Amino acid sequence: MKNTRGRVKVALIILLVLLSVFLIFLSALLIRTYTFSAAGNQDSSYFDRSHAAFAANFSESEGKLLLDNLKGALRIRTVSRNATDFDISALEEFGDFLPKVFPTVFSSNLVQHEIIAKYSHLFTVRGSNDSLQPFMLIAHLDVVPALEEEWDVPPFSAEEKDGYLYGRGSMDDKSSLMGILQGLEFLLKRGYIPCRSFYIGIGHDEEVGGNNGAKNIAKVLQSRGVKLSFLLDEGSVILDGVIPGLNKHAAIIATSEKGFATVNLNVSVDTGHSSMPPKETSIGILAAAVSKLEKNPMPRMFGQGPERGLFEHLSPQLHFPLNMVMANLWLFSPIVSRMMEKKQSTNTIVRTTTAVTEFHAGIKANVIAPFARATVNFRLHPVHTLDQLLQQIQHIISDERVKIEVLQHYPSLPMSSYDDTSFGYQVIKGTIQNIFPEVAVAPGLCIANTDTRHYQKLTKELYRFIPMILKQEDVTRVHGVNERISVKNYEEIVKFYFRLLQNSDLSSLPSSRIPSCDL
């Protein structure tokens, strides 16, 4: 009897202890959830209307002009097929086209224009205050090929249909290129004199690696001793309905970029007649290796890279309990990454992806294949190194007959800052909020590769963002069929750059709401 009472007592105490631990734990989760709500919703007060001298309002004729200029750019077939196969006459035509549509930019004594590596462009815009570190906007003028017969309209016709402008390059990347220069053209026309100097770099071979264009633009700036405050490139957008549980559009400013590794797998065996085959052929050995790689995805790394910032920043916009989960990825990332890896589009931010892209073997129907080779393309998660990857490949395949060699490798790009004191990030974010007040803004990861990597020596603050609004179904239009931009969205893109150039005139953050020179 006494004994039982004792046991009940102990059980009660244990229960109480567990309950308090649970309550403390729950409050920790909730505190984190709701402090994010407060922090993540910062307004764009540094960038309120009062200091932008020129409001982002365009007249009807300007609205028509900006659209006509974009159409002109889309009609020039600046296609890059590979590093040596591009259309020289189209690149030259593009060079002749720019001064025609941006006469003020090309005649202003504030702007210096240079041709780099024959077809790329560098604009230097001199600000009035030399003590401010310049920034840079970059874009590219080349496009990938288009399979004409699959499109609803000819890909280089720039046809307008149902409020959209169709054309190869309308998303990648001519609306950004033209938007930047159009924004500058309109500003200069209004008599704008920037305080902070800036550069505009337009590469001509981004789609095939940027080793002529962007690389040489960066070299020229390095040789002049230029250091940048920040750089803004393509590579991320405003997502409409892509993020589950979010009822708003999400503008993702990519602060890092996935890496890239192409790996060859080779198997060589003694050749012989197929009438007396060995137990395993080179083809069988390699096929088994490739199959193991596909069955064993690289480890989940979700929550260790910039994707953590993405969900933490978006968490205030989500409903309970999704907000608690996203604000507490330190705890929930294993569950969240298991959910995310089910879809291709979200799996790519959870881990290093594996794509077997080539398989070559065999020479004749009755000869044992002397060798077999497969190529595998990995896109590295930002915290995943090449050494780790190679060890994992070796471990997964576990067959010494399969030789592993790296063909090409770019490490992922380091994470740029996105806190309250990060000038570039805050200027970009504030400008998004000026032009799209209803949109949630968050840092994120660029899953493709851009020209940005060529500029790493000029600044650590590298951002990728274009205010282009994309639905899930639009994602495949980039490099795919029926690439298009809405007429309304393109005008917003021009407004964004028009405003961004002015917002960058602030001397510092966050106390300074005053421009760094008299306007």
Whichever of 386 and 435 has its CB closer to ligand NAG, that residue is 386
User: Could you say whether residue 233 binds Zn ion (CB under 5 A)?
Assistant: no
Distance (Å, rounded) from C-alpha 484 to C-alpha 151? 11
User: Could you say whether residue 44 binds ligand NAG (CB under 6 A)?
Assistant: no
Nearest approach, Cβ of residue 58 and ligand NAG (Å): 29
Residue bearing tokens 């307008």: 160
User: Could you say whether residue 129 binds ligand NAG (CB under 6 A)?
Assistant: yes
Whichever of 173 and 185 has its CB closer to Zn ion, that residue is 173
User: Could you say whether residue 172 binds Zn ion (CB under 5 A)?
Assistant: yes
Phi and psi, residue 220, nearest 5°: -60, -45
Q: Where are the beta strands (DSSP E) in 170-317?
A: 198-203, 231-233, 238-240, 249-257, 259-268
Respond yes or no: is residue 312 known to be catalytic: no
Contacts with ligand NAG in 181-220 (CB under 6 A)?
none
Q: With CB under 5 A as the contact rule, which of the stretches 27-35, 170-178, 457-465, 487-495 interacts with Zn ion?
A: 170-178
Phi-psi region of 197 (alpha: psi -120 to 50; beta: other; left: phi over 0): beta
Q: What is the DSSP string of 285-349?
A: HHHHHHHHHHHSPPPB-TTSSTHHHHHHHHGGGSPTTHHHHHHTHHHHHHHHHHHHTTSHHHHHH
Which of the listed partners (Zn ion, ligand NAG, none) does 173 bind, with a CB threshold of 5 to 8 Å by partner kind?
Answer: Zn ion
User: Could you say whether residue 173 binds Zn ion (CB under 5 A)?
Assistant: yes
Residue bearing tokens 């309550």: 23
Which of the listed partners (ligand NAG, Zn ion, none) does 172 bind, with a CB threshold of 5 to 8 Å by partner kind?
Answer: Zn ion
What 8-state DSSP symbol labels residue 479? T
Contacts with ligand NAG in 391-420 (CB under 6 A)?
403, 405
Query: Do 198 and 504 form a contact (C-beta atoms < 8 A)?
Result: yes
Contacts with ligand NAG in 346-385 (CB under 6 A)?
373
Instruction: Tell me which of 142, 205, 451, 474 is the catalytic residue.
Output: 142
Contacts with ligand NAG in 263-282 (CB under 6 A)?
264, 266
Respond yes or no: is residue 142 known to be catalytic: yes
C-alpha distance from residue 436 to each of 174, 394, 431, 489 (Å): 21, 48, 8, 11
Structure tokens at 207: 């789609």
Q: With CB under 6 A as the contact rule, which of the stretches 39-47, 125-133, 454-462, 494-502 interacts with ligand NAG?
A: 125-133
Whichever of 404 and 448 has its CB closer to ligand NAG, that residue is 404
Whichever of 173 and 505 has its CB closer to Zn ion, that residue is 173
Instruction: Tell me which of 172, 185, 205, 206 is the catalytic residue.
Output: 206
Whichever of 219 and 401 has its CB closer to ligand NAG, that residue is 401
Look at residues 438, 474, 466, 431 and name the one whose alpha carbon lies nearest to residue 164. 474
Residues in CB range of 213: below 8 A, 6 or more apart = 116, 117, 119, 120, 140, 202, 203, 204, 205, 206, 451
Whichever of 403 and 471 has its CB closer to ligand NAG, that residue is 403
Kindly list the residues in this chain that would bind ligand NAG in the complex (CB under 6 A).
129, 131-132, 264, 266, 373, 403, 405, 507, 516-517
Catalogue the active-site residues.
142, 206
